[in-house]
Amino acid sequence: MRRDVFQAIADPTRRGIIALLALQAMTPNALAEHFHTTRQAVSKHLRILTECELVKQEHQGREIYYQLEIEKMKEIDKWLEQYRKIWETRFTQLDDVLATIKKQKDEK
Amino acid sequence: MQMDLIVDKQTKTVSITKEFEYNLSLVWDAFTKPELLDQWWAPKPWTSRTKVMDFKVGGRRFYAMVSPEGNERWAVQKYTSITPKTNFKFFNAFADKDENPELPGSDWDLNFSEQDGTTRVSISIYNESLERLERMIELGFVEGAKAQLKNLEELLAKLLQ
Protein backbone atom coordinates (compact mmCIF):
# COMPACT_ATOMS: atom_id res chain seq x y z
CA MET A 1 0.00 0.00 0.00
CA ARG A 2 1.32 3.39 -0.95
CA ARG A 3 0.93 5.89 1.82
CA ASP A 4 0.05 9.52 1.67
CA VAL A 5 3.16 11.66 1.82
CA PHE A 6 1.42 14.48 3.60
CA GLN A 7 0.14 12.17 6.27
CA ALA A 8 3.69 10.98 6.71
CA ILE A 9 5.04 14.44 7.37
CA ALA A 10 2.10 15.53 9.53
CA ASP A 11 3.56 13.65 12.52
CA PRO A 12 6.05 15.68 14.61
CA THR A 13 8.31 12.69 15.38
CA ARG A 14 8.52 11.83 11.72
CA ARG A 15 9.37 15.42 10.90
CA GLY A 16 12.08 15.20 13.57
CA ILE A 17 13.44 12.04 12.00
CA ILE A 18 13.51 13.73 8.60
CA ALA A 19 15.36 16.71 10.10
CA LEU A 20 17.98 14.43 11.63
CA LEU A 21 18.41 12.33 8.52
CA ALA A 22 18.90 15.51 6.53
CA LEU A 23 22.18 15.89 8.42
CA GLN A 24 23.43 12.31 8.16
CA ALA A 25 22.37 8.73 7.61
CA MET A 26 21.49 7.04 10.91
CA THR A 27 20.63 3.63 12.35
CA PRO A 28 17.24 3.05 14.02
CA ASN A 29 19.03 2.65 17.37
CA ALA A 30 20.74 6.01 17.06
CA LEU A 31 17.42 7.62 16.14
CA ALA A 32 15.66 5.99 19.09
CA GLU A 33 18.26 7.45 21.46
CA HIS A 34 17.64 10.91 20.04
CA PHE A 35 13.92 10.75 20.60
CA HIS A 36 14.11 8.92 23.93
CA THR A 37 11.83 6.29 22.55
CA THR A 38 11.95 2.61 21.74
CA ARG A 39 13.50 1.13 18.67
CA GLN A 40 10.11 -0.38 17.87
CA ALA A 41 8.45 3.05 17.82
CA VAL A 42 11.17 4.48 15.60
CA SER A 43 10.97 1.47 13.30
CA LYS A 44 7.27 2.06 12.84
CA HIS A 45 7.88 5.67 11.80
CA LEU A 46 10.71 4.58 9.52
CA ARG A 47 8.46 2.04 7.87
CA ILE A 48 5.89 4.72 7.07
CA LEU A 49 8.58 7.07 5.77
CA THR A 50 10.05 4.26 3.67
CA GLU A 51 6.65 3.41 2.21
CA CYS A 52 6.33 7.02 1.14
CA GLU A 53 9.80 6.84 -0.34
CA LEU A 54 10.91 9.71 1.85
CA VAL A 55 13.75 7.65 3.30
CA LYS A 56 15.63 4.63 2.07
CA GLN A 57 17.65 1.88 3.73
CA GLU A 58 21.28 1.23 3.16
CA HIS A 59 23.10 -1.79 4.52
CA GLN A 60 26.56 -1.13 5.87
CA GLY A 61 27.96 -4.36 7.24
CA ARG A 62 25.47 -5.65 9.78
CA GLU A 63 23.92 -2.27 10.38
CA ILE A 64 20.99 -0.72 8.52
CA TYR A 65 21.34 2.98 7.94
CA TYR A 66 18.45 5.19 6.93
CA GLN A 67 18.95 8.15 4.69
CA LEU A 68 16.80 10.81 3.18
CA GLU A 69 15.46 10.63 -0.36
CA ILE A 70 16.42 14.17 -1.23
CA GLU A 71 14.51 14.27 -4.52
CA LYS A 72 11.26 13.28 -2.85
CA MET A 73 11.63 15.99 -0.24
CA LYS A 74 12.19 18.52 -3.01
CA GLU A 75 8.91 17.44 -4.60
CA ILE A 76 6.98 18.19 -1.43
CA ASP A 77 8.71 21.54 -1.19
CA LYS A 78 7.76 22.30 -4.76
CA TRP A 79 4.13 21.37 -4.21
CA LEU A 80 3.81 23.61 -1.18
CA GLU A 81 5.78 26.30 -2.94
CA GLN A 82 3.21 26.45 -5.75
CA TYR A 83 0.40 26.90 -3.29
CA ARG A 84 2.32 29.46 -1.27
CA LYS A 85 3.05 31.40 -4.46
CA ILE A 86 -0.64 31.67 -5.29
CA TRP A 87 -1.35 33.24 -1.94
CA GLU A 88 1.70 35.49 -2.03
CA THR A 89 0.70 36.81 -5.44
CA ARG A 90 -2.85 37.30 -4.23
CA PHE A 91 -1.76 39.20 -1.14
CA THR A 92 0.69 41.38 -3.07
CA GLN A 93 -2.20 42.32 -5.34
CA LEU A 94 -4.41 42.92 -2.31
CA ASP A 95 -1.78 45.24 -0.83
CA ASP A 96 -1.87 47.27 -4.06
CA VAL A 97 -5.66 47.45 -3.97
CA LEU A 98 -5.60 48.57 -0.33
CA ALA A 99 -3.05 51.28 -1.15
CA THR A 100 -5.27 52.53 -3.98
CA ILE A 101 -8.52 52.65 -2.02
CA LYS A 102 -6.80 54.25 0.96
CA LYS A 103 -5.45 56.97 -1.31
CA GLN A 104 -8.90 57.51 -2.80
CA LYS A 105 -10.43 57.83 0.67
CA ASP A 106 -7.71 60.19 1.88
CA GLU A 107 -8.24 62.45 -1.10
CA LYS A 108 -11.95 62.81 -0.43
CA MET B 1 4.83 41.39 5.77
CA GLN B 2 5.47 37.71 6.26
CA MET B 3 2.72 35.27 5.39
CA ASP B 4 2.25 32.01 7.26
CA LEU B 5 0.87 29.03 5.42
CA ILE B 6 0.46 25.69 7.13
CA VAL B 7 -0.97 22.54 5.60
CA ASP B 8 -2.20 20.15 8.27
CA LYS B 9 -3.02 16.90 6.59
CA GLN B 10 -4.49 15.33 9.70
CA THR B 11 -7.16 17.98 10.14
CA LYS B 12 -7.32 18.45 6.35
CA THR B 13 -6.90 22.14 6.91
CA VAL B 14 -4.80 24.82 5.30
CA SER B 15 -4.21 27.84 7.53
CA ILE B 16 -3.03 31.13 6.10
CA THR B 17 -2.23 34.18 8.20
CA LYS B 18 -1.22 37.57 6.93
CA GLU B 19 -1.05 41.09 8.31
CA PHE B 20 -1.76 44.23 6.34
CA GLU B 21 -0.71 47.72 7.31
CA TYR B 22 -4.20 49.07 6.76
CA ASN B 23 -7.16 49.50 9.01
CA LEU B 24 -9.76 46.81 9.43
CA SER B 25 -12.61 48.40 7.52
CA LEU B 26 -10.45 48.81 4.42
CA VAL B 27 -9.31 45.17 4.51
CA TRP B 28 -12.85 43.98 5.22
CA ASP B 29 -14.09 45.89 2.17
CA ALA B 30 -11.41 44.35 -0.03
CA PHE B 31 -12.64 40.89 0.98
CA THR B 32 -16.35 41.54 0.76
CA LYS B 33 -16.98 43.90 -2.16
CA PRO B 34 -16.99 42.28 -5.60
CA GLU B 35 -15.43 45.21 -7.46
CA LEU B 36 -12.48 45.12 -5.03
CA LEU B 37 -12.24 41.34 -4.79
CA ASP B 38 -11.97 41.07 -8.56
CA GLN B 39 -8.91 43.30 -8.47
CA TRP B 40 -6.81 40.90 -6.41
CA TRP B 41 -8.41 37.47 -6.02
CA ALA B 42 -6.95 35.88 -9.14
CA PRO B 43 -3.17 35.50 -9.22
CA LYS B 44 -1.89 37.24 -12.34
CA PRO B 45 -2.11 36.63 -15.26
CA TRP B 46 -5.48 35.13 -14.36
CA THR B 47 -8.32 37.55 -13.72
CA SER B 48 -11.30 37.25 -11.44
CA ARG B 49 -14.76 38.00 -12.79
CA THR B 50 -17.61 38.04 -10.32
CA LYS B 51 -20.93 37.45 -11.98
CA VAL B 52 -23.15 37.46 -8.89
CA MET B 53 -22.35 38.50 -5.36
CA ASP B 54 -24.83 38.84 -2.57
CA PHE B 55 -22.85 39.25 0.63
CA LYS B 56 -25.31 38.03 3.26
CA VAL B 57 -25.94 34.75 5.04
CA GLY B 58 -27.51 32.42 2.50
CA GLY B 59 -26.21 34.60 -0.32
CA ARG B 60 -23.42 33.68 -2.69
CA ARG B 61 -20.59 34.79 -4.92
CA PHE B 62 -20.54 33.16 -8.33
CA TYR B 63 -17.36 33.99 -10.13
CA ALA B 64 -14.86 32.83 -12.70
CA MET B 65 -11.10 32.73 -12.75
CA VAL B 66 -10.25 33.63 -16.32
CA SER B 67 -7.00 32.53 -17.92
CA PRO B 68 -5.08 34.80 -20.32
CA GLU B 69 -6.49 32.64 -23.15
CA GLY B 70 -10.01 33.34 -21.92
CA ASN B 71 -10.72 29.97 -20.31
CA GLU B 72 -13.16 30.30 -17.44
CA ARG B 73 -13.01 28.25 -14.24
CA TRP B 74 -16.20 28.87 -12.35
CA ALA B 75 -16.69 28.58 -8.62
CA VAL B 76 -19.46 29.38 -6.20
CA GLN B 77 -19.04 30.52 -2.60
CA LYS B 78 -22.08 30.26 -0.41
CA TYR B 79 -22.01 32.44 2.70
CA THR B 80 -22.90 30.49 5.82
CA SER B 81 -22.06 33.01 8.52
CA ILE B 82 -21.19 36.71 8.68
CA THR B 83 -20.12 38.79 11.68
CA PRO B 84 -19.33 42.22 10.23
CA LYS B 85 -15.66 43.23 10.40
CA THR B 86 -14.82 40.14 12.44
CA ASN B 87 -15.54 36.93 10.59
CA PHE B 88 -17.26 35.34 7.67
CA LYS B 89 -17.56 31.78 6.48
CA PHE B 90 -18.43 30.28 3.16
CA PHE B 91 -18.68 26.96 1.42
CA ASN B 92 -16.65 26.96 -1.77
CA ALA B 93 -17.18 24.62 -4.70
CA PHE B 94 -16.03 24.53 -8.28
CA ALA B 95 -18.92 24.82 -10.68
CA ASP B 96 -19.83 24.80 -14.33
CA LYS B 97 -20.89 27.97 -16.12
CA ASP B 98 -24.51 27.27 -15.16
CA GLU B 99 -23.60 27.29 -11.49
CA ASN B 100 -23.94 23.57 -10.92
CA PRO B 101 -21.47 22.85 -8.12
CA GLU B 102 -18.94 20.03 -8.24
CA LEU B 103 -18.76 18.38 -4.85
CA PRO B 104 -16.99 17.97 -2.53
CA GLY B 105 -16.15 21.55 -1.78
CA SER B 106 -14.24 23.28 0.98
CA ASP B 107 -15.23 25.23 4.07
CA TRP B 108 -13.58 28.62 4.48
CA ASP B 109 -13.37 30.50 7.74
CA LEU B 110 -11.96 34.02 7.59
CA ASN B 111 -11.09 36.01 10.70
CA PHE B 112 -10.19 39.68 10.84
CA SER B 113 -8.72 41.68 13.72
CA GLU B 114 -7.00 45.03 14.04
CA GLN B 115 -4.25 46.18 16.35
CA ASP B 116 -2.46 49.54 16.10
CA GLY B 117 -3.67 50.11 12.57
CA THR B 118 -2.51 46.70 11.37
CA THR B 119 -5.10 44.18 10.31
CA ARG B 120 -4.52 40.49 10.74
CA VAL B 121 -6.36 38.10 8.46
CA SER B 122 -6.48 34.39 9.35
CA ILE B 123 -7.99 32.08 6.81
CA SER B 124 -8.58 28.41 7.41
CA ILE B 125 -9.70 26.17 4.61
CA TYR B 126 -11.05 22.75 5.41
CA ASN B 127 -10.97 20.27 2.55
CA GLU B 128 -12.73 16.95 2.54
CA SER B 129 -10.10 15.48 0.30
CA LEU B 130 -6.48 16.04 -0.53
CA GLU B 131 -7.29 15.61 -4.21
CA ARG B 132 -9.53 18.60 -4.04
CA LEU B 133 -6.83 20.69 -2.43
CA GLU B 134 -4.48 19.70 -5.19
CA ARG B 135 -7.05 20.53 -7.82
CA MET B 136 -7.47 23.92 -6.19
CA ILE B 137 -3.79 24.52 -6.60
CA GLU B 138 -3.85 23.32 -10.14
CA LEU B 139 -6.75 25.63 -11.00
CA GLY B 140 -5.44 28.63 -9.18
CA PHE B 141 -1.98 28.21 -10.53
CA VAL B 142 -0.64 30.89 -12.80
CA GLU B 143 -1.00 29.57 -16.30
CA GLY B 144 1.85 31.69 -17.59
CA ALA B 145 4.23 28.96 -16.59
CA LYS B 146 2.70 26.12 -18.55
CA ALA B 147 5.79 23.98 -18.33
CA GLN B 148 5.72 24.35 -14.57
CA LEU B 149 2.07 23.41 -14.49
CA LYS B 150 2.89 20.27 -16.38
CA ASN B 151 5.54 19.47 -13.80
CA LEU B 152 3.03 20.05 -11.08
CA GLU B 153 0.49 17.76 -12.69
CA GLU B 154 3.08 15.04 -12.98
CA LEU B 155 4.08 15.59 -9.41
CA LEU B 156 0.50 15.44 -8.16
CA ALA B 157 -0.13 12.31 -10.16
CA LYS B 158 2.89 10.76 -8.48
CA LEU B 159 1.82 11.83 -5.02
CA LEU B 160 -1.63 10.39 -5.60
CA GLN B 161 -0.46 6.98 -6.74
Q: Name which of A48-62, B6-20, B60-74 the model is least confident about.
A: B6-20
CB-based contact, B26 to chain A, within 8 Å = yes
Tell me which residue of B41, B53, B97, B96 sits closest to B77, measured CA to CA: B53
Same domain, A77 and A27: no
- A13 and A27 housed in the same domain: yes
Same domain flag for A57 and A77: no
Residue A58 sits in the same domain as residue A102: no
Same domain? A31 vs A77: no
Nearest C-alpha of chain A: how many angstroms from B9? 6
A79 vs B159: CB contact, 8 Å cut-off? Answer: yes
Task: Identify the sign of the CA torsion B95, B100, B103, B108.
Answer: positive
What ipTM did this prediction achieve? Answer: 0.73
Counted domains in chain A: 2
Interval B16-34 mean pLDDT: 91
> Are residues A85 and A96 part of one domain?
yes
Domain shared by A20 and A57, yes or no: yes
Quick check: B43 and A75 CB within 8 A?
A: no
Task: For residues A15 and A56, state if they share a domain.
Answer: yes
Over the stretch B83-123, which tens digit does the pLDDT of each residue have?
999 999 999 888 889 999 877 778 999 999 999 989 999 99
We report the CATH number of the domain holding residue A20 as: 1.10.10.10
Cα dihedral angle (B40, B46, B52, B58), rounded to 10 degrees? -70
The Cα of A61 is separated from the nearest Cα of chain B by a number of Å equal to 33
A93 touching B (Cβ < 8 Å): yes
For position A86, what pLDDT does the model report?
Answer: 80
Size of interface A-B (CB pairs under 8 A): 84
Whole-number pLDDT of residue B32: 95
Residue type, B107: D
Domain that includes residue A94, residue range: 71-108
